[in-house]
Structure formats: C-alpha cells, structure tokens
Amino acid sequence: MKIAVLKETAPGERRVAATPETVKKFVALGAELAVERDAGASAAFADQGYADAGATIGERASVVQGADIVLGVQGPDVASLTGAKPGAWIVAGLNPFGDRARVDAYASAGFEALAMEFMPRITRAQSMDILSSQSNLAGYKAVLDAAAEYGRAFPMMMTAAGTVSAAKCFVMGVGVAGLQAIATARRLGAQVSATDVRSATKEQILSLGAKPIFVENVAGIEGEGSGGYATEMSPEYQKAQAELVSGHLAKQDIVITTALIPGRPAPRLISDAQLATMRPGSVVVDLAVEQGGNVEGAVAGEVVERHGVKIVGHRNVPSRLPADASALFSRNLFNFLSAFWDKDQGRPVLDAEIGDAIRLTKDGKVVNERLAG
C-alpha cells in the first residue's frame, strides 16, 4: 500500500497533508510513504524529518508512480497524477461544489475521490473532521487579524494618563470558528457578544462569558439543519434579525462573521448601509469571503476600507497558521484511514455510512448524491 504526499500547488496554500508524526504512524500500519520534495517546507516540516519517520523523498512523478492513495490538503490537478494506480484514492479537501470540473476529471481518470469536507457530523467521525479542525484555527486567527488592523487596544487599561476602554467585539455565526473567536477575543480582554440563527447556541455563548444577541418570538429561529449546520431562515426572521443587528453593530469596534451554508453562497449578514453606521476605525473580518462573503464590499484576498471601516477578507485563513493547521489536518487524515485499516488486506476498507458520504467518484462516474444533477 503506497501512500503519496504531494506538495500543494494552489496559490497561497502553505499547509501539507502529512507530517513526520503521521508518516511514522502510517509506516507502523505497514504502508509505504512517498513524500514530494519540500512538501512540508512552508509549514516548517523539513524533508529530513519525513525521511527519519520512514518516508522516501522524491520528485512528484516518482512519488505518484504506483500510488494507491494520494493525500492532499486541496485536490491535486489530475494531470499531475499520471502514474498513480487505476482506482487510486484521492483523499483531500476537494471543494466539490466550487470545483465540479475537477471532480468530473477525477471520475474520467478512474480515480476514487474522497472529499474530507463531506465527512458526516457523527460522534465516531469527529476526529476525522477537517472542517472543524481548520475552522477552530480560523476563528482564532480572525481575532488576531482584527487586532492587527485595529488601531486601539483590546483590553481595558487603567493608567496614570487615563483609562483605555475595552474593545467591543461581536461574533456573527457561532459554529466552531465562531466559538473559538469568542474565546480568543475574551482572552484578549474584549467585551464580547455573539449571535446565531440556531437557538441551541445561546448556552454555548453564555458558557464562554459572552452576551447572546438573539431575535425572540419570531418564527424561524430554529435554524439548525442536518449535521448541525445552519439553514436559511424565514423572511420574517431575516427582517427581525437585520433590525436587531443594525442597532447592535453601530456600537461595535470588532465584528467577526463566520456564517456558511454548505453548497450555497454565504448569507449576507452586513450591508453597506449597516457598515456606514459603524465607528471609523472599526474592523470587520469576513471568514466567509471565499464563498461570496457575509459582508457587502468584502474582497477575497484583500483588506479594504468602506466608510472608515476596515473589511478584512484574507483567503484560506487556516493556511496563515500552517504548522498547526497541517498538524491537525494530517491527523484528521490519519484518523480516517487508520480507523478503516484492514490488517489482513493491508489497506483501508470503508463502510457504507462514512464511505458513501465522502465518496465523490468511483468506476469512472460521479456517485455522490449531493452532486447529483
């Protein structure tokens, strides 16, 4: 069983799909590991570390040659996989809705593409969930990015020259990223409030010492869909939410938006008119900017200013913490493959519950129900 680990080629991608730690664990299972030269360099993992863990280091052609499984952070280009075994598994974050053409290309090439972001939200798959592990770091980094752009201090400071007021931070969307953003802003000393369409998150917000901001007594507050993800809300709820948020936004210094709906454009949470009510020097960090953005005027990959408010739209925020993001991502991949490792066959054998959920292509066809039509 040969497992290939490739150097990421997407612009700005600094993560790597395996670390010396996980290479050593795969070797212990009996797998042969081949790592592309400098695959981990941008995440501070040297080739020698991989070699010491039992991997062979080489150029991409030799690494891919005869591979049964190819690991990636983002899906590798099909053209670079020449030489991999027929039916080889491509295990990575494959962005199935946003890059359907690549999925079709995997099918045409006869590969079995496994999209790690389709991992079901069930108890036994928690340790395999790349969305959770990467969102956790994104929520943390979003607050640091806001602090770097904000021209004032976060905590209240009492000095001989007078008192510095604490920053007011508002987190919109209380999933994994939002919860970590709340915790990080609180650690930095900000006054934190948060909102979400799912009423179940109110207790989580309170448990972190933040103030919940919720629409009450309006149909449509229970916005939790399958797998704990948010769903779109009723028009009545959206109107009431916009009115409540508008009044609250005008008093905030920092806003972090994290709202995503799988397979859909990110919901618009903040309009240009609402931005205009915020104080000059305020900062908004849009973690959904690559899916269309929660904030009107946000630009992917840029920090822009509107009405005196900075809108931070960094792409691929987990990759801004490449060493830790790679460590967690690679453990997700190892936890997934090792959980299904059949010692007799010397390879992983998937079950229906998880296999059918994440498998995009097989035997030359796109087979995932979520991509039907």
Residue 351: is it exposed, middle or buried by C-beta count within 10 angstroms (0-12/13-18/19+)?
exposed
Q: Is 229 a catalytic residue?
A: yes
Tokens of 317: 């925020």
Q: Is 42 a catalytic residue?
A: no
pLDDT of residue 222: 52
Give the β-pairing of 89-93 and 112-115.
parallel
Dihedrals φ, ψ of 256, to 5°? -115, 120
Contact assessment for residue 212 and residue 193, using Cβ atoms and an 8 Å cutoff: yes
Residue 224 has pLDDT above 90, yes or no: no
The residue from 65, 127, 229, 246 that is catalytic is 229
Angle subtended at Cα 200 by Cα 194 and Cα 201, rounded to the nearest 5 degrees? 25
What element of type H or E holds 285?
strand 283-286
pLDDT of residue 216: 74
- Summarised one tens digit per residue, pLDDT across range 239-257 is 777 788 888 999 999 999 9
- Of all residues in the chain, the percent with pLDDT exceeding 70 is 95
| Mean pLDDT confidence for 161-175 | 96
pLDDT of residue 242: 75
The residue from 62, 80, 104, 121 that is catalytic is 121
Q: Is 121 a catalytic residue?
A: yes
- Summarised one tens digit per residue, pLDDT across range 300-340 is 999 999 999 999 999 999 999 999 999 999 999 999 999 99
The residue from 47, 129, 145, 286 that is catalytic is 129
The residue from 15, 42, 106, 132 that is catalytic is 132
The residue from 126, 165, 207, 234 that is catalytic is 126
pLDDT of residue 230: 54
pTM score of the predicted model: 0.92
Q: Is 132 a catalytic residue?
A: yes
pLDDT of residue 40: 98
- Summarised one tens digit per residue, pLDDT across range 76-119 is 999 999 999 999 999 999 999 989 999 999 999 999 999 999 99
Q: Is 338 a catalytic residue?
A: no
- Summarised one tens digit per residue, pLDDT across range 23-57 is 999 999 999 999 999 999 999 999 999 999 999 99
Full strand arrangement of the beta sheet holding 89-93: 56-58, 32-36, 2-5, 69-74, 89-93, 112-115
| Residues contacting residue 48 through CB under 8 Å, at least 6 positions apart | none
pLDDT of residue 151: 94
pLDDT of residue 144: 98
